[in-house]
Amino acid sequence: LIEDQKKAEAAAREKRRQEQLAKAKAEHERRAAAAAQQAKAAPGTKARPAPSDNIDDDEAPQSLGRNEATPSPEENFGKPFASLRGQLRLPVRGDLIAKFGGKRGDGPSWKGLFIRAPEGSEVKAVAAGRVVYADWLRGFGNLLIVDHGNQYMTIYGNNQSVLKRAGDLVKTGDVIASAGNSGGNEQSGLYFEMRHQGRAFDPLGWVTTR
């Protein structure tokens, strides 16, 4: 009976993970489609220039701050994700050129951060968890999603390559991807989101950049 109960609990956990992943994928695809629709100028009108924080600009966007700290393996060991607010470090060194809530051209507001970094820069897991998605996704390029438990997830997009597979366990500071521009951006770097119960929230309220 105990063995059957363990199997049932494991099946239930896997089902919840799959449901979260399905929701995340659906949301990503909806946003990508909305951004593409918004990007098309209406017939008979002239397209407006994108604001200076658009990462597709020919001129490099102005830095909104620089991140120098990245996660290290000895941090946050064994702590539940919900207790890590204010203690996390961003996944890659580089310049912040888009922040949560900022306007993205004529499209929807940013749901995360864009950190400009040289192609091939190491992208690290901000906390321990399990990889639930590691593949290319329209609008996000090579994308990796880590489930940290209790419905917390971190999302790493625009990568040159992903170095983990779905199902892999990762620890804080593990190198999970390399930065790039696979999401169709002229700027090389990392797109980073944090979500709880499927809703994106501002990563800057949870991280330190020093």
Token pair for residue 180? 């790039």
**What pLDDT, on a 0 to 100 scale, did the predictor assign at position 129?**
95
**What pLDDT, on a 0 to 100 scale, did the predictor assign at position 52?**
32
* Least confident window among 73-77, 122-126, 189-193: 73-77
Torsion of CA 142, 202, 111, 141, to 10 degrees: -10
Q: Which domains does the chain have, with CATH numbers?
A: 2-208 (2.70.70.10)
Of the candidates 34, 84, 35, 74, the residue with the CA atom closest to the CA atom of residue 55: 35
* Per-residue model confidence as pLDDT tens digits over 26-63: 766 665 555 445 433 333 333 333 333 334 433 345 66
Max avg pLDDT among 72-81, 127-136, 178-187? 127-136
Token pair for residue 203? 């990563």
**What pLDDT, on a 0 to 100 scale, did the predictor assign at position 64?**
65
Which of residues 27 and 16 earns the better pLDDT score?
16
**What pLDDT, on a 0 to 100 scale, did the predictor assign at position 61?**
55
* Per-residue model confidence as pLDDT tens digits over 135-167: 999 888 999 999 999 999 999 999 999 999 999
* Per-residue model confidence as pLDDT tens digits over 82-129: 999 988 999 999 988 877 766 666 666 668 889 999 999 999 999 999
What integer is the mean pLDDT of 70-76?
A: 81
**What pLDDT, on a 0 to 100 scale, did the predictor assign at position 51?**
31
Which of residues 188 and 25 earns the better pLDDT score?
188
Please count the CA atoms within 13 angstroms of the CA of 102 that sit on its side-chain side. 18
**What pLDDT, on a 0 to 100 scale, did the predictor assign at position 73?**
81
Say whether pLDDT at 192 is over 90: yes
Of the candidates 59, 33, 37, the residue with the CA atom closest to the CA atom of residue 186: 59
